[in-house]
Amino acid sequence: MKKHLLFGLLSAAVFLVGCAHRPATHPTDEPFRSVYHHSPEANWMNDPNGMFYDEANGVWHLYYQHNPFGTTWGPMHWGHATSTDLLTWEEHPIVLYPDSIGTIFSGSAVIDKNNTAGFGENAIVAIFTQSERIGQHQSIAYSTDGGYTFTKYEGNPVLMGDIADFRDPKVTWDGDHWLMTLACQQEIRFYASPNLKEWTYLSSFGKDLGAHGGVWECPELIRLKCENEKIGKCENEKIGKCENDKYVLLVSINPGGPFGGSATQYFVGDWDGREFKCENGKCENEQMNWLDYGKDNYSTFTFHNSPDGRLVAIGWMSNWQYAEVVPTVAFRSQNTIARDLFLFTDDEGEFRLGSVPSPESLALRGEETKYLPDAGIVELELDGKQDALVTLSNDKGEKVVMNLDVHRRTFSMDRTASGDCSFSHDFAARTVAPLFVKRDTYKVLLFIDHCSIEAFDAEGAWSMTNLVFPSEPYNHLDVQGGEAKIYNVKI
């Protein structure tokens, strides 16, 4: 079936609705400012850092790599934003400034419920890398006002680097002690601590395993509960049976991603309290696992203390190949929408890490509309028996072409004619995701914002995040081989 939705004239009303969606926290009204994705008010941002959920106040805290002096990477600080809905963000003052130990690189934060560090019950403790010319070290800082201001620990650094790349500590509670996952060149190291101040080396992982086209960064060890109904979430008949909890190790890599530049790979395996081992030695084959099959989802982390044991994750929505030259003006970079991570088994019976838009992100769906506003959500139902072609375009002829190939069992997105690609020869690209699970009907969700398209298998078997810079908003949607529902964005 061919369904052609053509909206040659975007009415002034629709345009005004689009503008009204822009959160008041963004002073500049530039065309590529995201409507419902977090972006810094001004200047440069890369990785999300230290994310945690304050359950007493229902507030999500997001810190981020920030250069307050310009729109390219520079001396790193931790910027800060909060949200109660994961869609609209309030900016707060910078929480961590460089000092004599170094600038402030990526890291994590925990709520120290039992006062193990002695900074006070429920103190928020940030663990981060300090980078200087001759090395990288791990430091800590604490907050006793719920994460709005931090004091650096006078005994910093708490873990001295012994190699050049020694960074991005992600700390979690592992039964009766803290566990740090750290990126060290092209390996991951694990350290344990009773109090966040003294750290003991446990083990290393990654030599000759997975992708090694670049430096490893921003790791996270995630525990996935052994709940078979969740593992079978993709309604796959071969539901995997697990007896123990599974662990997934996220490792960002730059360069060396599947479509060039930076990307996030993962390993599924087991954690015995000391060592991470891949599921059935699976990492030894050549196959890499990617969290997202687009070019623009890097250094993905989960929020510490997410409600109901969920794994709510956000990634940096850009790529080191061109992040510093994209055509935004007052700021550079935004984060992805929040996604919930989970484990499922694919048609070959392999465990895979899936991501679905978080319920908070799905709450964006406003009224169903026949208009395609400049920010919206599209739900596609594509027939699993024939190929489908989905084209988003504007009156200038700029377009993004998506293709469901039922024989190759792939979904692809081609942004080579999507708008401005001139700022970097690495930008024009076609990205391809394996479908992983065969279905009669493929439901695909498209989250469209002013400079991004995030495509999801509606059940989370794959996701694909790509930036786009059209000179006018896309206002046509053409679907061959399926049907589409369009929703306005509700903020």
**Which two structure tokens, joined as six digits, stand for 21?**
């969606």
How far is the C-alpha of 314 from the C-alpha of 252, rounded, in Å? 13
| 187 scored as a contact of ligand FRU (CB under 6 A) | no
**CB 468 within 8 Å of CB 452:** yes
User: How does DSSP classify residue 231?
Assistant: H
**Which two structure tokens, joined as six digits, stand for 277?**
């081992």
User: In the stretch 72-101, what mask flags binding to ligand FRU with x, by CB under 6 A?
Assistant: ----x-------------------------
Residue with structure tokens 């921003």? 218
**Which two structure tokens, joined as six digits, stand for 256?**
């060396």
**Which two structure tokens, joined as six digits, stand for 341?**
């991570």
Amino acid at site 393: S
| 218 scored as a contact of ligand FRU (CB under 6 A) | yes
The least distance separating ligand FRU from the CB of residue 473, rounded to whole angstroms, comes to 29
How far is the C-alpha of 372 from the C-alpha of 204, rounded, in Å? 49
Among 78, 105, 276, 436, binds ligand FRU (CB under 6 A): 105
Catalytic residue among 29, 47, 383, 405: 47
H/E segment holding residue 381: strand 376-383
Q: Which of residues 18-77 bind ligand FRU (CB under 6 A)?
A: 46-47, 65, 76
Size, binding site for ligand FRU by CB under 6 A? 12
Can you say whether the dihedral through the CA atoms of 429, 430, 433, 439 is positive or negative? positive
| 299 scored as a contact of ligand FRU (CB under 6 A) | yes
- The CA-based angle 317-252-296, given to 5 degrees, is 20
| 106 scored as a contact of ligand FRU (CB under 6 A) | yes
Among 37, 38, 61, 167, binds ligand FRU (CB under 6 A): 167
The least distance separating ligand FRU from the CB of residue 78, rounded to whole angstroms, comes to 10
The least distance separating ligand FRU from the CB of residue 293, rounded to whole angstroms, comes to 19
| 168 scored as a contact of ligand FRU (CB under 6 A) | yes
User: In the stretch 126-155, what mask flags binding to ligand FRU with x, by CB under 6 A?
Assistant: ---x--------------------------
Q: Tell me the residue length of the chain.
A: 491
Active-site annotation holds for 208 = no
Q: Which of residues 110-129 bind ligand FRU (CB under 6 A)?
A: 129
**Which two structure tokens, joined as six digits, stand for 331?**
């700021």
Active-site positions?
47
Binding stretches for ligand FRU (CB under 6 A):
46-47, 65, 76, 105-106, 129, 167-168, 217-218, 299
